């Protein structure tokens, strides 16, 4: 397929390329005050072999030239990319290697497009993508880029349409919203035609708001976005270092807490009006001040964020505002103990769980494996436990300790010891029995029961492994860890009983050990509390564990070894991962 152009022009050759403005017509480097009615716009769409302008190539160019709301020309050509077209791209676009075999190479197609678009302003849906490929062609041909900044219908849609009206600004979603006559098909000309209609519908929305020129359109912001932009001064004085930021409201209340690698850049992004979360726009409109805390590195910022969330419970944060609110499996203090779901952990507990039903399900599996009762019938002064099974051997009332003969206090104590061992990390036997039960049910073709058992077993493995990891960290009185810093040097953390006691940064060229010694000397005192995590908030301990186990991290010193149970649940994490994948 050769180039198809519905406008009369002379084909360019490489000899014509001199990089001068005269070749392409006089095109302003900025919009000036060009009337939208008089402006010549070329709406362009590309199909490519992939998403990288450097590594991938164009397979099709489609463009529509419009002026005053009328189509005055179209341009379409397949392009030989000079490289294989990946199967997923063929499936998406329908463009095969056979179709582009006789098509022009990108250099020839690009020059033809330049002639078609001379003197115009380019428009594209997600202009950064299309312009990236077109500019790359210009660079390879050593041709000066002759166009002013393009108009992007993604950006315009985000500024003109409300989130309620247009939750998505994908071309297909906008085409559906505006009920355009040409729907996008992942072919360049069809998509360019659809983009033209979307552009015209967007222009209709702002025509009665005094938007008359290309410059006014490019700089247009809705009233809501303008109110957000008016708050930019709140973030202009922030540093460019990592840390935590706090948006405060009219009565100095904390509205929102977040972390950032670059405080100024992150906070300024809230005033652009591009955040899809409606509550964030509402929060910014209420904000009167932005406070910040500079941090040595990402771990310190993450920990400080968690602590500030717990302290202030900001109205516009949805996560981590109640870090100690979870469910735990604990052994009751009854004469014949059983596993109970509780808000308060003891030293021998499993958790935390975010879902009470999941906690109860895992508790049931452990009760089955250890032989603990799940009934509430044994009295305070009982000398034995006896829940009789029915004639078929099934447990009456569902008690997991049902047996044909009474269970004495001494015999039951052995079962309790087994459950305690599981909670402390020796869970290999119970985990293997639960996995074997999945296989038995599947072999018996009881597939629904097998699936339920699989999901419960995976939840048990994941929770036990997580609890064992965090317990191993939290029992260590002091742990000093160093991790390479992106800019050179070392990120340093002093961890005591699963909590960050101090943090610092030894920059490139600075001896790290004196910094470590100063951090240890000034570190916060942490007294271990009750529970398997020694009082550490689970989210903070989990954040620290991830940080100290990432590639490159080194233990500088430890008051005792950081060890996991030899027969812990971590050995079966691969099984639980496969079980979760099977559920999808």
pLDDT above 70 (res 18): no
Tens of pLDDT, residues 143-190: 999 999 999 999 999 888 877 788 899 999 999 999 999 999 999 999
Residue 208 neighbours by CB distance under 10 Å? 7
Helix (H) or strand (E) holding 215: helix 214-218
Better pLDDT: 534 or 395: 534
CB 129 within 8 A of CB 5: no
- Of the candidate ranges 117-131, 183-197, 204-218, 256-270, the one whose mean pLDDT is the lowest: 204-218
Enter the tokens of residue 417.
């010891």
| DSSP annotation string for 74-89 | EEEEE-B-SSPPPHHH
Look at residues 278, 289, 178, 187 and name the one whose alpha carbon lies nearest to residue 224.
Answer: 278
Look at residues 291, 328, 296, 333 and name the one whose alpha carbon lies nearest to residue 312.
Answer: 291
Better pLDDT: 14 or 335: 335
Please enumerate in sequence order all residues whose Cβ is within 8 A of that of 365, keeping only pairs 6 or more positions apart, or say none: 430, 434, 456, 457, 460
Class of residue 242 by CB neighbours under 10 A (exposed 0-12, middle 13-18, buried 19+) = buried
Tens of pLDDT, residues 407-417: 888 888 899 89
pLDDT (mean) for 395-411: 77
**What pLDDT score was predicted for residue 580?**
85
Distance CA 110, CA 147 (A): 14
Tens of pLDDT, residues 363-382: 888 888 888 888 877 666 77
Tens of pLDDT, residues 306-342: 999 999 999 999 876 666 678 889 998 888 888 999 9
Distance CA 427, CA 423 (A): 7
Look at residues 273, 276, 234, 225 and name the one whose alpha carbon lies nearest to residue 255.
Answer: 234
186 belongs to the catalytic site: yes
How far is CA 18 from its chain centroid?
47
Distance CA 473, CA 562 (A): 6
Please enumerate in sequence order all residues whose Cβ is within 8 A of that of 535, keeping only pairs 6 or more positions apart, or say none: 497, 527, 528, 529
Distance CA 87, CA 33 (A): 46
pLDDT above 80 (res 278): no
pLDDT above 50 (res 47): yes
**What pLDDT score was predicted for residue 353?**
86
Mean residue pLDDT across the chain:
86
Distance CA 95, CA 88 (A): 11
Taking the C-alpha atoms of 206, 208, 210 and 216 in order, what is their torsion angle to the nearest 10 degrees?
A: 20
Distance CA 317, CA 255 (A): 8
Distance CA 382, CA 444 (A): 39
Percentage, residues of the chain above pLDDT 90: 54
Tens of pLDDT, residues 132-155: 999 999 999 999 999 999 999 999
Say which residue the tokens 């909590």 belong to. Answer: 499
pLDDT above 80 (res 351): yes
Q: Which of 186, 312, 384, 567 is labelled catalytic?
A: 186
Distance CA 198, CA 153 (A): 8
Better pLDDT: 113 or 350: 113
| DSSP at 497 | T
Decide: pTM greater than 0.75: no
Distance CA 82, CA 303 (A): 51
Tens of pLDDT, residues 542-583: 999 999 999 999 999 999 999 988 888 888 999 999 988 887
What structural domains and CATH numbers belong to the chain? Answer: 1-220 (3.30.420.10), 223-312 (3.40.1440.10), 327-471 (no CATH), 476-559 (no CATH)
Characterize the bridge pairing of strands 151-152 and 121-124: parallel
- Of the candidate ranges 319-323, 445-449, 505-509, the one whose mean pLDDT is the lowest: 319-323
């Amino acid at each position: 397929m050769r180039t198809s152009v519905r406008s009369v022009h002379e084909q360019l050759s490489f000899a014509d390329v001199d990089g001068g403005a005269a070749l392409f017509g006089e095109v302003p480097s900025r919009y000036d005050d060009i009337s939208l009615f008089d402006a010549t716009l070329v709406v362009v769409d590309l199909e490519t072999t992939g998403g990288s302008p450097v590594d991938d190539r164009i397979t099709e160019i489609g463009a529509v030239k419009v002026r005053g709301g009328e189509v005055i020309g179209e341009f379409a050509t397949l392009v030989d990319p000079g490289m294989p077209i990946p199967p997923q791209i063929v499936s998406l676009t329908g463009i095969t290697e056979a179709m582009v075999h006789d098509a022009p190479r990108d250099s020839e197609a690009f020059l033809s497009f330049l002639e078609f678009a001379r003197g115009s302003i380019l428009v594209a849906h997600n202009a950064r993508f299309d312009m990236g490929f077109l500019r790359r062609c210009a660079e390879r041909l050593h041709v000066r880029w002759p166009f002013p900044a393009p108009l992007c219908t993604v950006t315009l849609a985000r500024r003109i349409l409300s989130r309620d009206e247009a939750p998505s600004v994908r071309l297909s979603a906008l085409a559906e919203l505006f009920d355009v006559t040409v729907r996008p098909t992942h072919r360049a000309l069809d998509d360019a035609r659809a983009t033209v209609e979307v552009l015209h519908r967007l222009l209709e929305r702002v025509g009665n708001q005094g938007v008359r020129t290309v410059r006014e359109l490019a700089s247009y912001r809705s009233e809501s976005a303008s109110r957000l932009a008016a708050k930019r001064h709140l973030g202009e004085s922030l540093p460019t270092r990592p840390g935590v930021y706090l948006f405060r409201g009219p009565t100095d209340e904390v509205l929102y807490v977040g972390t950032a690698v670059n405080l100024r850049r992150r906070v300024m992004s809230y005033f652009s009006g591009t955040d899809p979360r409606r509550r964030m726009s509402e929060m910014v409109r209420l904000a009167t001040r932005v406070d910040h805390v500079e941090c040595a590195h990402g771990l310190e910022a993450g920990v400080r964020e968690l602590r500030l969330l717990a302290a202030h419970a900001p109205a516009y944060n949805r996560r981590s505002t109640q870090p100690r609110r979870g469910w735990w499996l604990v052994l009751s203090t009854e004469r014949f103990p059983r596993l109970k779901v509780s808000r308060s952990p003891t030293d021998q507990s499993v958790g935390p769980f975010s879902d009470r039903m999941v906690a109860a399900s895992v508790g049931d599996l452990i009760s089955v494996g250890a032989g603990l009762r799940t009934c509430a019938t044994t009295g305070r002064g009982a000398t034995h436990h006896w829940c009789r099974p029915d004639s078929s051997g099934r447990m009456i009332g569902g008690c997991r300790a049902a047996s044909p003969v009474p269970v004495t206090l001494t015999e039951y104590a052995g079962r309790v010891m087994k459950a305690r061992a599981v909670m402390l990390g020796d869970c290999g036997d119970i985990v293997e029995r639960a996995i074997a039960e999945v296989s038995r049910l599947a072999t018996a073709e009881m597939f629904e029961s097998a699936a339920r058992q699989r999901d419960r077993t995976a939840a048990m493995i994941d929770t036990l492994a997580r609890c064992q990891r965090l317990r191993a960290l939290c029992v260590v009185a002091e742990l000093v860890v160093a991790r390479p810093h992106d800019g050179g040097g070392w990120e340093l953390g002093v961890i005591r009983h699963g909590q960050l006691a101090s943090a610092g940064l030894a920059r490139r060229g600075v001896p790290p050990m004196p910094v470590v010694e100063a951090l240890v000397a000034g570190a916060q005192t942490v007294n271990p509390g009750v529970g398997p995590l020694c009082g550490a908030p689970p989210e903070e301990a989990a954040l620290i564990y991830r940080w100290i186990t990432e590639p490159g991290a080194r233990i500088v010193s430890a008051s005792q070894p950081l060890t996991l149970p030899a027969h812990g649940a971590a050995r079966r994490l691969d099984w639980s991962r496969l079980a979760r994948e099977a559920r999808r």
